[in-house]
Structure 1
Amino acid sequence: MKFSAPLHKAHLLRRYKRFLADVVLEGQDEATVVHCPNPGSMMGLDKPESPVWLSWNDTGKRKHPYTWEISKADGDLVGINTNLPNRLVTEALEEGLIPELSAYDGIRREVRYGEKSRVDFLLQGEHLPDCYLEVKNVHLMRTAGLAEFPDSVTARGSRHLQELMQMVKNGHRAVMLFVVQRMDCTSFCPAADIDPVYANTFRDAINAGVEILCYDCEITTKQITIRQPLPLSPSFG
């Protein structure tokens, strides 16, 4: 996914009210309020004075036309926009960049399923079982090389795993895909200390036949793209 225009560099002053942040744009002295498209804790990604990169979208309807897209953390670029993974996965599916899912040629988005939910993608193909695909954004790294999810308690995430388990019981294929918006991780696992319920449900889902996929991203200030698979960490036994 290419950004439609060059990103603007700034440094972070503070993040607050979940969806707002104060930054100072490069070459300026005064603070600017920007939109933070991330409802999570952003653990390790919201340190004051961190370099950040912003997109600009002035439609005349937005109170804050700058959107925080990327941070620099642990010496590397990290995508923080939780709205991007579905767009990244759409591109990857259309270009066949996820081999485990490349046999499907029908892609439907936001299809109702389960109890009052919408699955991110319903994949369909001739002579193939319907594939219910949920996508989760990952950017937490507390141990070098280990990507973790979630960064805060997520009852919604546990519900999605339960609904995928039900799809398997109904004879369908179900996949949970974690998109790691980092380039410095070599494996993935649930953050059991942050949300033990989610970690237990994750284990139950695997045992029930839900497939777990994890892919990291190539990140520059010009574009973000799905890159390569990451294995489940041996520490999650």
Structure 2
Amino acid sequence: MDFPQPLTRGQLIQRYKRFLADIVLEDGTEITAHCPNPGAMLGLNMPGLPVWVSRSPDPKRKLAHTLELVEVDGGLVGINTMHPNRLVAEALAHDVIPELTGYASHRREVNYGVASRVDFLLEAPDRPRCWLEIKNCHLRRTGTLAEFPDCVAARSTKHLRELEAMVAEGDRAVALFVVQRTDCDTFSACHDLDPAFARGLEAAAQVGVEVLVYACDITPSEVRIARAMTWAR
């Protein structure tokens, strides 16, 4: 996924009200940017961190800038939770994820379960349907371990139950975690921040829901799904 325009570097002043971030750009201009991330952003919301923002040419937008990347320990972290579905769509189109190749169609936002919509439904004439849920991961607290979630994620736990139901019906179901970091090589559910989700992920895997984890390559000009990661259960 290429950013449509070059990103601008700045420094985080504060992130507040979940979706707002005050930033001072390198030229000294202070802006308020949209922060497209409903999570806690632990370790990524500290004043003074270097950040990268995009700018929309749409004059109707209330906030022209969007917070895209945060620099931590010399590495880039993608915080935009809207990007993983776009990244996966691109990866599916180019057969980047071997476990998900061979499907004739990739439909998005298909209704299923109880008032839910799956991120992708993969279909082919000669194989079971594949229900694919995407989760964005950007939390790292120790070493090279990526964790999800960074706060209580009841909706994500509900999605695991929906995937289990699809497996029970004879379909395939996959929970795919997209790690928008360049400094992690293993993944774990975050037991202390959301024990219900951690238990739910293990339970889902035990009944046949597949768990995939892929890391990204990230630069100020592009983000790409790049490589598989190990799930440390």
With structure 1 as the length reference, what TM-score do the two structures score? 0.97
Counterpart mapping for 1:188-207 below 5 A: 188-207=187-206
Secondary structure at 1:47 match in 2:
coil
Taking the aligned partners of 1:168 and 1:229, their CA distance within structure 2 comes to 23
Taking the aligned partners of 2:174 and 2:163, their CA distance within structure 1 comes to 7
Corresponding residue of 2:154: 155
Runs of 4+ residues over 2 Å off in structure 1: none
Corresponding residue of 1:15: 15
Corresponding residue of 1:118: 117
Counterpart of 1:212 in structure 2: which amino acid? V
**How far did residue 10 of structure 1 move?**
0.6
Deviations 1:168-226 (A, max 9, x none): 00110000000000011110010000000001111110011000000000000000000
**How far did residue 58 of structure 1 move?**
3.0
Counterpart mapping for 1:1-237 below 5 A: 1-28=1-28, 30-233=29-232, 236=233
**How far did residue 105 of structure 1 move?**
2.1
Taking the aligned partners of 2:45 and 2:72, their CA distance within structure 1 comes to 9
**How far did residue 61 of structure 1 move?**
1.4
Taking the aligned partners of 2:14 and 2:104, their CA distance within structure 1 comes to 44
Counterpart of 1:82 in structure 2: which amino acid? T
Taking the aligned partners of 1:59 and 1:222, their CA distance within structure 2 comes to 20
Give unmatched runs, 5+ long, in structure 2: none
Give unmatched runs, 5+ long, in structure 1: none
Taking the aligned partners of 2:186 and 2:39, their CA distance within structure 1 comes to 21
Alignment length (residue pairs): 233
Moved more, 57-66 or 172-181: 57-66
RMSD: 0.7
**How far did residue 4 of structure 1 move?**
0.5
Counterpart of 2:6 in structure 1: which amino acid? P
Q: Percent of aligned positions with the same letter in both sequences? A: 52
Deviations 1:136-165 (A, max 9, x none): 000000011000000000110000000000
Taking the aligned partners of 1:91 and 1:145, their CA distance within structure 2 comes to 26
Secondary structure at 1:130 match in 2:
strand
